[in-house]
Structure 1
Protein backbone atom coordinates (compact mmCIF):
# COMPACT_ATOMS: atom_id res chain seq x y z
CA UNK A 1 0.00 0.00 0.00
CA UNK A 2 2.79 2.40 0.89
CA UNK A 3 4.55 1.73 -2.42
CA UNK A 4 1.39 2.50 -4.41
CA UNK A 5 0.87 5.72 -2.45
CA UNK A 6 4.52 6.70 -3.00
CA UNK A 7 4.20 6.11 -6.78
CA UNK A 8 0.99 8.10 -6.83
CA UNK A 9 2.63 10.99 -5.01
CA UNK A 10 5.62 10.98 -7.36
CA UNK A 11 3.34 10.77 -10.38
CA UNK A 12 1.27 13.71 -9.10
CA UNK A 13 4.45 15.75 -8.50
CA UNK A 14 5.70 14.93 -12.00
CA UNK A 15 2.36 15.94 -13.52
CA UNK A 16 2.30 19.15 -11.50
CA UNK A 17 5.84 20.03 -12.59
CA UNK A 18 5.05 19.33 -16.25
CA UNK A 19 1.85 21.39 -16.00
CA UNK A 20 3.85 24.26 -14.47
CA UNK A 21 6.42 24.11 -17.29
CA UNK A 22 3.61 24.13 -19.87
CA UNK A 23 2.01 27.13 -18.13
CA UNK A 24 5.31 29.03 -18.23
CA UNK A 25 5.58 28.23 -21.95
CA UNK A 26 2.05 29.55 -22.51
CA UNK A 27 2.86 32.76 -20.66
CA UNK A 28 6.09 33.26 -22.60
CA UNK A 29 4.41 32.61 -25.96
CA UNK A 30 1.54 34.92 -25.02
CA UNK A 31 3.94 37.72 -24.13
CA UNK A 32 5.91 37.08 -27.32
CA UNK A 33 2.72 37.32 -29.36
CA UNK A 34 1.81 40.65 -27.74
CA UNK A 35 5.34 41.98 -28.34
CA UNK A 36 5.17 40.79 -31.95
CA UNK A 37 1.91 42.67 -32.44
CA UNK A 38 3.28 45.84 -30.82
CA UNK A 39 6.48 45.89 -32.86
CA UNK A 40 4.56 45.40 -36.10
CA UNK A 41 2.33 48.29 -35.04
CA UNK A 42 5.50 50.32 -34.54
CA UNK A 43 6.72 49.22 -37.98
CA UNK A 44 3.53 50.46 -39.66
CA UNK A 45 3.53 53.69 -37.63
CA UNK A 46 7.19 54.31 -38.39
CA UNK A 47 6.83 53.59 -42.09
CA UNK A 48 3.67 55.53 -42.83
CA UNK A 49 3.58 58.26 -40.16
CA UNK A 50 7.23 58.98 -39.41
CA UNK A 51 8.45 57.99 -42.87
CA UNK A 52 11.31 56.11 -41.18
CA UNK A 53 11.02 52.33 -41.25
CA UNK A 54 12.51 50.65 -38.16
CA UNK A 55 14.79 48.05 -39.71
CA UNK A 56 15.22 45.93 -36.58
CA UNK A 57 11.57 44.82 -36.50
CA UNK A 58 11.97 42.04 -39.06
CA UNK A 59 14.86 40.40 -37.23
CA UNK A 60 13.14 40.58 -33.83
CA UNK A 61 9.91 39.29 -35.39
CA UNK A 62 11.72 36.23 -36.76
CA UNK A 63 13.10 35.44 -33.31
CA UNK A 64 9.66 35.83 -31.74
CA UNK A 65 7.98 33.63 -34.36
CA UNK A 66 10.52 30.88 -33.68
CA UNK A 67 9.86 31.17 -29.96
CA UNK A 68 6.09 31.09 -30.39
CA UNK A 69 6.18 28.16 -32.82
CA UNK A 70 8.46 25.82 -30.89
CA UNK A 71 7.20 26.53 -27.38
CA UNK A 72 3.64 26.35 -28.68
CA UNK A 73 4.35 22.99 -30.31
CA UNK A 74 5.75 21.65 -27.05
CA UNK A 75 2.64 22.78 -25.15
CA UNK A 76 0.56 21.07 -27.83
CA UNK A 77 2.40 17.82 -27.13
CA UNK A 78 1.86 18.22 -23.39
CA UNK A 79 -1.83 19.01 -23.71
CA UNK A 80 -2.29 16.50 -26.52
CA UNK A 81 -3.63 19.20 -28.83
CA UNK A 82 -0.88 19.05 -31.43
CA UNK A 83 -1.77 18.14 -34.98
CA UNK A 84 -2.34 14.43 -35.13
CA UNK A 85 -4.54 12.05 -36.98
CA UNK A 86 -6.53 10.16 -34.41
CA UNK A 87 -9.07 8.65 -36.83
CA UNK A 88 -6.90 5.56 -37.27
CA UNK A 89 -6.52 5.12 -33.52
CA UNK A 90 -10.24 5.63 -33.04
CA UNK A 91 -11.22 3.04 -35.63
CA UNK A 92 -9.04 0.13 -34.51
CA UNK A 93 -9.57 -2.32 -31.66
CA UNK A 94 -8.36 -1.36 -28.17
CA UNK A 95 -5.20 -3.50 -28.27
CA UNK A 96 -4.04 -1.98 -31.56
CA UNK A 97 -4.94 1.48 -30.23
CA UNK A 98 -2.70 0.87 -27.22
CA UNK A 99 0.21 0.05 -29.49
CA UNK A 100 -0.43 3.10 -31.68
CA UNK A 101 -0.56 5.40 -28.66
CA UNK A 102 2.76 4.05 -27.36
CA UNK A 103 4.34 4.27 -30.82
CA UNK A 104 3.11 7.84 -31.20
CA UNK A 105 4.58 8.88 -27.85
CA UNK A 106 7.87 7.14 -28.62
CA UNK A 107 8.03 8.79 -32.05
CA UNK A 108 7.35 12.21 -30.49
CA UNK A 109 10.02 11.62 -27.84
CA UNK A 110 12.48 10.61 -30.56
CA UNK A 111 11.59 13.63 -32.66
CA UNK A 112 12.00 15.90 -29.63
CA UNK A 113 15.36 14.31 -28.88
CA UNK A 114 16.54 14.93 -32.44
CA UNK A 115 15.34 18.53 -32.28
CA UNK A 116 17.21 18.95 -29.01
CA UNK A 117 20.45 17.42 -30.28
CA UNK A 118 20.63 19.04 -33.69
CA UNK A 119 19.19 22.32 -32.44
CA UNK A 120 21.90 22.45 -29.79
CA UNK A 121 24.58 21.72 -32.40
CA UNK A 122 23.21 24.47 -34.63
CA UNK A 123 22.97 26.91 -31.72
CA UNK A 124 26.60 26.30 -30.76
CA UNK A 125 27.73 26.57 -34.38
CA UNK A 126 25.96 29.89 -34.98
CA UNK A 127 26.59 31.51 -31.57
CA UNK A 128 29.80 33.24 -32.67
CA UNK A 129 28.19 35.42 -35.33
CA UNK A 130 25.74 38.26 -34.81
CA UNK A 131 22.32 38.89 -36.33
CA UNK A 132 22.52 42.04 -38.46
CA UNK A 133 20.66 45.13 -37.22
CA UNK A 134 20.05 43.84 -33.67
CA UNK A 135 23.56 42.62 -32.81
CA UNK A 136 22.62 39.53 -30.79
CA UNK A 137 24.12 36.07 -31.33
CA UNK A 138 22.85 34.26 -34.42
CA UNK A 139 22.46 31.15 -32.25
CA UNK A 140 19.36 32.74 -30.71
CA UNK A 141 17.53 31.83 -33.91
CA UNK A 142 17.94 28.11 -33.22
CA UNK A 143 17.71 28.22 -29.43
CA UNK A 144 13.89 27.92 -29.50
CA UNK A 145 14.31 24.78 -31.63
CA UNK A 146 16.59 23.34 -28.94
CA UNK A 147 14.33 24.27 -26.04
CA UNK A 148 11.22 23.13 -27.90
CA UNK A 149 12.86 19.80 -28.66
CA UNK A 150 13.83 19.33 -25.01
CA UNK A 151 10.27 20.11 -23.92
CA UNK A 152 8.72 17.79 -26.53
CA UNK A 153 11.03 15.03 -25.31
CA UNK A 154 10.17 15.76 -21.68
CA UNK A 155 6.42 15.94 -22.25
CA UNK A 156 6.41 12.78 -24.38
CA UNK A 157 8.33 10.89 -21.71
CA UNK A 158 5.80 12.16 -19.18
CA UNK A 159 2.99 10.72 -21.31
CA UNK A 160 4.80 7.38 -21.55
CA UNK A 161 5.41 7.23 -17.80
CA UNK A 162 1.75 7.96 -17.05
CA UNK A 163 0.68 5.45 -19.69
CA UNK A 164 2.81 2.63 -18.30
CA UNK A 165 1.72 3.39 -14.73
CA UNK A 166 -1.95 3.31 -15.77
CA UNK A 167 -2.54 7.00 -15.08
CA UNK A 168 -2.93 8.28 -18.65
CA UNK A 169 -6.00 10.51 -18.85
CA UNK A 170 -5.91 11.47 -22.52
CA UNK A 171 -9.32 11.07 -24.11
CA UNK A 172 -8.19 9.23 -27.25
CA UNK A 173 -5.66 7.00 -25.51
CA UNK A 174 -6.57 3.69 -24.11
CA UNK A 175 -10.17 3.58 -22.98
Structure 2
Protein backbone atom coordinates (compact mmCIF):
# COMPACT_ATOMS: atom_id res chain seq x y z
CA UNK A 1 0.00 0.00 0.00
CA UNK A 2 1.12 3.52 -0.74
CA UNK A 3 1.07 6.40 1.76
CA UNK A 4 -2.47 7.31 0.70
CA UNK A 5 -3.68 3.79 1.47
CA UNK A 6 -4.20 2.99 -2.23
CA UNK A 7 -2.87 -0.16 -3.85
CA UNK A 8 0.50 0.45 -5.54
CA UNK A 9 1.80 -1.49 -8.49
CA UNK A 10 5.29 -2.03 -9.91
CA UNK A 11 4.60 0.39 -12.79
CA UNK A 12 3.70 3.14 -10.27
CA UNK A 13 7.40 3.64 -9.58
CA UNK A 14 9.70 5.99 -11.49
CA UNK A 15 12.58 3.48 -11.72
CA UNK A 16 12.15 -0.28 -12.08
CA UNK A 17 14.95 -2.84 -12.26
CA UNK A 18 13.95 -6.41 -13.12
CA UNK A 19 16.65 -9.06 -12.93
CA UNK A 20 17.27 -12.73 -12.33
CA UNK A 21 17.09 -16.12 -13.98
CA UNK A 22 14.30 -15.54 -16.49
CA UNK A 23 14.78 -18.99 -18.02
CA UNK A 24 14.45 -17.84 -21.64
CA UNK A 25 16.40 -20.02 -24.07
CA UNK A 26 17.68 -19.81 -27.62
CA UNK A 27 15.18 -21.12 -30.18
CA UNK A 28 17.22 -22.66 -32.95
CA UNK A 29 16.73 -25.47 -35.41
CA UNK A 30 18.85 -28.60 -34.82
CA UNK A 31 21.31 -27.69 -37.59
CA UNK A 32 22.31 -24.47 -35.76
CA UNK A 33 25.29 -25.24 -33.55
CA UNK A 34 24.62 -22.93 -30.62
CA UNK A 35 27.74 -24.02 -28.72
CA UNK A 36 29.98 -23.36 -31.71
CA UNK A 37 28.46 -19.92 -32.34
CA UNK A 38 28.68 -19.01 -28.63
CA UNK A 39 32.30 -20.17 -28.38
CA UNK A 40 33.14 -18.14 -31.51
CA UNK A 41 31.57 -15.00 -30.02
CA UNK A 42 28.76 -14.92 -32.62
CA UNK A 43 26.40 -13.36 -30.07
CA UNK A 44 24.52 -11.17 -32.54
CA UNK A 45 23.39 -14.24 -34.50
CA UNK A 46 22.31 -16.03 -31.33
CA UNK A 47 20.57 -12.99 -29.83
CA UNK A 48 18.24 -12.90 -32.85
CA UNK A 49 17.15 -16.40 -31.79
CA UNK A 50 16.89 -15.48 -28.09
CA UNK A 51 13.35 -16.12 -26.81
CA UNK A 52 13.27 -13.07 -24.53
CA UNK A 53 14.29 -10.77 -27.38
CA UNK A 54 11.73 -12.40 -29.68
CA UNK A 55 8.93 -11.99 -27.13
CA UNK A 56 9.91 -8.37 -26.44
CA UNK A 57 9.98 -7.55 -30.18
CA UNK A 58 6.35 -8.64 -30.59
CA UNK A 59 5.30 -6.82 -27.41
CA UNK A 60 4.36 -9.85 -25.33
CA UNK A 61 6.66 -9.26 -22.36
CA UNK A 62 8.51 -6.40 -20.68
CA UNK A 63 6.82 -3.73 -22.77
CA UNK A 64 8.51 -0.41 -22.04
CA UNK A 65 11.61 -2.04 -20.54
CA UNK A 66 15.15 -1.72 -21.85
CA UNK A 67 18.12 -4.05 -21.81
CA UNK A 68 21.69 -3.07 -22.52
CA UNK A 69 23.75 -4.67 -25.29
CA UNK A 70 24.78 -8.24 -24.52
CA UNK A 71 28.48 -8.50 -25.35
CA UNK A 72 29.21 -11.57 -23.27
CA UNK A 73 28.81 -15.29 -23.69
CA UNK A 74 25.65 -17.10 -22.59
CA UNK A 75 25.17 -17.43 -18.84
CA UNK A 76 23.74 -20.97 -18.84
CA UNK A 77 24.29 -23.98 -18.77
CA UNK A 78 27.71 -24.90 -17.43
CA UNK A 79 29.07 -27.90 -15.63
CA UNK A 80 29.35 -26.89 -11.99
CA UNK A 81 32.80 -25.64 -10.91
CA UNK A 82 33.89 -25.20 -14.56
CA UNK A 83 33.62 -22.94 -17.59
CA UNK A 84 32.56 -25.91 -19.74
CA UNK A 85 29.16 -26.19 -21.37
CA UNK A 86 26.76 -28.78 -19.97
CA UNK A 87 28.14 -32.28 -20.46
CA UNK A 88 25.32 -34.06 -18.64
CA UNK A 89 23.01 -36.51 -20.34
CA UNK A 90 20.60 -33.66 -21.22
CA UNK A 91 23.32 -31.63 -23.01
CA UNK A 92 21.42 -28.38 -22.43
CA UNK A 93 22.27 -25.69 -24.96
CA UNK A 94 23.81 -22.36 -23.95
CA UNK A 95 21.41 -19.46 -23.36
CA UNK A 96 21.23 -16.03 -21.76
CA UNK A 97 18.86 -17.03 -18.97
CA UNK A 98 20.19 -14.43 -16.53
CA UNK A 99 19.16 -10.91 -17.47
CA UNK A 100 18.81 -7.35 -16.20
CA UNK A 101 16.11 -5.07 -17.62
CA UNK A 102 14.92 -1.65 -16.53
CA UNK A 103 12.18 0.88 -17.11
CA UNK A 104 12.05 4.57 -16.31
CA UNK A 105 13.29 7.99 -17.35
CA UNK A 106 16.83 9.15 -16.75
CA UNK A 107 18.41 5.68 -16.51
CA UNK A 108 21.68 4.97 -18.29
CA UNK A 109 23.32 1.57 -18.10
CA UNK A 110 27.08 1.91 -17.73
CA UNK A 111 28.14 -1.73 -17.44
CA UNK A 112 26.46 -5.06 -18.25
CA UNK A 113 28.64 -8.10 -17.82
CA UNK A 114 28.93 -11.75 -16.90
CA UNK A 115 31.14 -13.03 -14.08
CA UNK A 116 32.86 -16.07 -15.52
CA UNK A 117 35.13 -16.51 -12.48
CA UNK A 118 32.18 -17.60 -10.34
CA UNK A 119 31.67 -21.33 -10.73
CA UNK A 120 29.36 -22.38 -7.88
CA UNK A 121 26.33 -22.89 -10.11
CA UNK A 122 25.35 -24.03 -13.59
CA UNK A 123 24.66 -20.33 -14.26
CA UNK A 124 27.16 -17.50 -14.56
CA UNK A 125 25.86 -14.42 -12.74
CA UNK A 126 25.47 -11.08 -14.48
CA UNK A 127 25.75 -7.59 -13.05
CA UNK A 128 25.07 -4.09 -14.25
CA UNK A 129 25.94 -0.59 -13.19
CA UNK A 130 23.52 2.26 -13.79
CA UNK A 131 23.53 6.02 -13.62
CA UNK A 132 20.03 7.06 -12.59
CA UNK A 133 18.54 10.50 -12.23
CA UNK A 134 16.24 10.57 -9.24
CA UNK A 135 13.84 13.22 -8.06
CA UNK A 136 14.82 14.80 -4.77
CA UNK A 137 12.38 16.73 -2.63
CA UNK A 138 13.63 19.93 -0.97
CA UNK A 139 12.11 19.23 2.46
CA UNK A 140 12.22 22.87 3.65
CA UNK A 141 10.46 24.09 0.50
CA UNK A 142 8.00 21.18 0.70
CA UNK A 143 7.06 22.15 4.28
CA UNK A 144 6.60 25.83 3.32
CA UNK A 145 4.36 24.97 0.37
CA UNK A 146 2.44 22.43 2.45
CA UNK A 147 1.81 24.99 5.22
CA UNK A 148 0.66 27.62 2.70
CA UNK A 149 -1.73 25.18 1.02
CA UNK A 150 -3.11 24.10 4.41
CA UNK A 151 -3.72 27.78 5.35
CA UNK A 152 -5.58 28.35 2.08
CA UNK A 153 -7.67 25.22 2.61
CA UNK A 154 -8.49 26.25 6.20
CA UNK A 155 -9.55 29.72 4.99
CA UNK A 156 -11.77 28.22 2.28
CA UNK A 157 -13.28 25.76 4.72
CA UNK A 158 -14.05 28.53 7.21
CA UNK A 159 -15.59 30.73 4.51
CA UNK A 160 -17.95 27.97 3.47
CA UNK A 161 -19.01 26.87 6.94
CA UNK A 162 -22.79 26.89 7.11
CA UNK A 163 -24.25 29.76 9.14
CA UNK A 164 -27.93 29.96 10.06
CA UNK A 165 -30.15 32.08 12.27
CA UNK A 166 -33.45 31.17 13.88
CA UNK A 167 -36.39 33.53 14.37
CA UNK A 168 -36.82 32.06 17.84
CA UNK A 169 -34.36 30.31 20.05
CA UNK A 170 -37.09 28.58 22.06
CA UNK A 171 -40.48 27.07 21.20
CA UNK A 172 -43.01 26.97 24.00
CA UNK A 173 -46.33 25.18 23.54
CA UNK A 174 -49.28 25.22 25.89
CA UNK A 175 -50.11 21.89 27.52
CA UNK A 176 -50.85 19.34 24.81
CA UNK A 177 -53.84 16.99 25.12
CA UNK A 178 -54.62 13.78 23.27
CA UNK A 179 -55.70 14.39 19.65
CA UNK A 180 -55.26 18.17 20.05
CA UNK A 181 -53.34 20.00 17.32
CA UNK A 182 -50.88 22.76 18.19
CA UNK A 183 -48.41 24.56 15.96
CA UNK A 184 -45.72 27.19 16.18
CA UNK A 185 -43.74 28.74 13.30
CA UNK A 186 -39.96 29.06 13.26
CA UNK A 187 -38.03 30.74 10.45
CA UNK A 188 -34.55 29.43 9.62
CA UNK A 189 -32.40 31.80 7.55
CA UNK A 190 -29.11 31.00 5.79
CA UNK A 191 -26.78 33.81 6.80
CA UNK A 192 -23.62 32.19 5.43
CA UNK A 193 -22.19 32.44 1.91
Give the TM-score, by structure 1 length: 0.23
Structure number with bigger Rg: 2
More helix, by proportion: 1
More strand, by proportion: 2
Higher RCO (Cα < 8 Å, 6 or more apart): 1
Give the TM-score, by structure 2 length: 0.22
